Amino acid sequence: MRASLLQIDVNEGESIESRRVRVASLVREQSGSADLVVLPELWTTGAFAYEEFASEAEPLEGPTYEAMAKAASDAGVWLHAGSIPERDPEGPLYNTSLVFSPAGDLVAAYRKIHRFGFDKGEAVLMGAGEELVTVRLPETTVGVATCYDLRFPELFRGLVDAGAETFVVPAGWPERRRAHWTLLAQARAVENQAFVLACGTAGTHAGVPQAGHSIVVDPWGEVLAQAGAGEQVLTVEFDPGKPAVTRDQFPALKDRVLGVAAPPRR
Ligand SMILES: O=C(O)CCC(=O)C(=O)O
């Protein structure tokens, strides 16, 4: 199976409409060289462009949905189109990832569960998702997570319990914590014996330099490929049967002990 991670440069020098057209064309260019294409988190506005979230939020089936559904079907690829600031007509904004089939049908939407920013930014401007999401592709079951979710191992264990063998993680991770990005991607892969395909943004937006360094890690924790800092298409071939083989040969997941009582808090 081949995947292309499109590490998009997000900066204020390019309008959202131009970026949408450019990204759709980059997706089309992957036709024939990738089965699965992955985009970053909030690549229209940028993950730290808090002031843009409300004005640029879209309904689920808005302009980014339309452009990405068409790009997926034109290219004939599975497309994890990263995330959009979604405006729910009856609720708050959400940081929502969209996954399309090669026919251009929406097969999953995931609202980010862990919002970043503590008491500001996304954490106060957006609502929290409440549901884990997996998608069955012909060769693997994908579990989806977004950026800050990478710090919460219980979310990934929940996805494993739901059958995930490959995690796809769009992000807008800042350069300042790049070491955590690589370390956490490897940790989530090793502890769950799963592939991690984590796609970040490049460039600087809202004054926050982005880490880039999108990464693909195999179920043994080996880094199969890693991008540099700038805009880049990272294409990697991987064996979707490897999680099952790894789980069979080194069956640590079977040794989980659930429900251990905690001692009283001191
Ligand atoms: O956890 C981090 O260090 C970065 C998270 C983040 O930037 C995000 O979720 O948008």
> Residue 248: pLDDT above 90?
yes
pTM higher than 0.90 for the full model?
yes
The alpha carbons of the chain give a radius of gyration, in whole angstroms, of: 18
pLDDT value of position 117: 96
pLDDT band at 259, cuts 50/70/90? confident
pLDDT digits (tens, 9 = 90+) for 214-227: 999 999 999 999 99
Query: Residue 216's closest CA among 207, 208, 225?
Result: 225
> Residue 254: pLDDT above 90?
yes
pLDDT digits (tens, 9 = 90+) for 89-139: 988 999 999 999 999 999 999 999 999 999 999 999 999 999 999 999 999
Tell me if residue 112 is catalytic: yes
**Cα–Cα distance measured from residue 266 to residue 260, given in angstroms and rounded to the nearest whole number:** 18
Tell me if residue 41 is catalytic: yes
ipTM: 0.96
Tell me which residue has its CA closest to atom 3 in ligand 1: 177
Percentage above 90 pLDDT, the chain = 97
Percentage above 70 pLDDT, the chain = 100
Q: Distance between alpha carbon 171 and the CA centroid of its chain, in Å?
A: 6
Under 8 Å between Cβ of 25 and 16: no
Q: Where are the beta strands (DSSP E) in 101-149?
A: 106-111, 134-136, 141-144
pLDDT digits (tens, 9 = 90+) for 224-240: 999 999 999 999 999 99
pLDDT band at 266, cuts 50/70/90? confident
pLDDT value of position 91: 85
Q: Which atom of ligand 1 is least distant from the CA of 176?
A: 3
Under 8 Å between Cβ of 1 and 240: yes
pLDDT value of position 195: 99
Report, as an integer, the average pLDDT of 48-72: 97
Report, as an integer, the average pLDDT of 70-79: 98
**Cα–Cα distance measured from residue 99 to residue 196, given in angstroms and rounded to the nearest whole number:** 16
- How long is the chain? 266
User: Which one-letter DSSP state was computed for residue 243?
Assistant: H
Catalytic member of 52, 56, 58, 112: 112
Tell me which residue has its CA closest to atom 5 in ligand 1: 148
Q: Where are the domains of the chain?
A: 2-251
236 Cα to the center of ligand 1, angstroms: 24
Domain 2-251 in CATH 3.60.110.10? The answer is yes
Enclosing H/E stretch for 203: none
Report, as an integer, the average pLDDT of 45-73: 97
Catalytic member of 147, 165, 199, 231: 147
Q: Which atom of ligand 1 is least distant from the CA of 151?
A: 1
**Cα–Cα distance measured from residue 52 to residue 152, given in angstroms and rounded to the nearest whole number:** 27
Q: Which atom of ligand 1 is least distant from the CA of 112?
A: 9
Query: Residue 32's closest CA among 67, 69, 77, 79?
Result: 77
Query: Residue 226's closest CA among 239, 211, 248?
Result: 211
Q: 177 CB under 6 A from ligand 1?
A: yes
Please state, as a whole number, how many other Cβ atoms lie within 10 Å of the Cβ of residue 175. 16
Tell me if residue 242 is catalytic: no
Under 8 Å between Cβ of 144 and 99: yes
Round the average pLDDT of the chain to a whole number and report it: 97
User: Which one-letter DSSP state was computed for residue 58?
Assistant: B
pLDDT digits (tens, 9 = 90+) for 156-166: 999 999 999 99
177 Cα to the center of ligand 1, angstroms: 9
Q: If you search the block for the tokens 């954490």, which residue do you land on?
A: 123
Burial environment of residue 259 by CB neighbours within 10 A (0 to 12, 13 to 18, 19 or more): exposed
**Cα–Cα distance measured from residue 136 to residue 24, given in angstroms and rounded to the nearest whole number:** 23
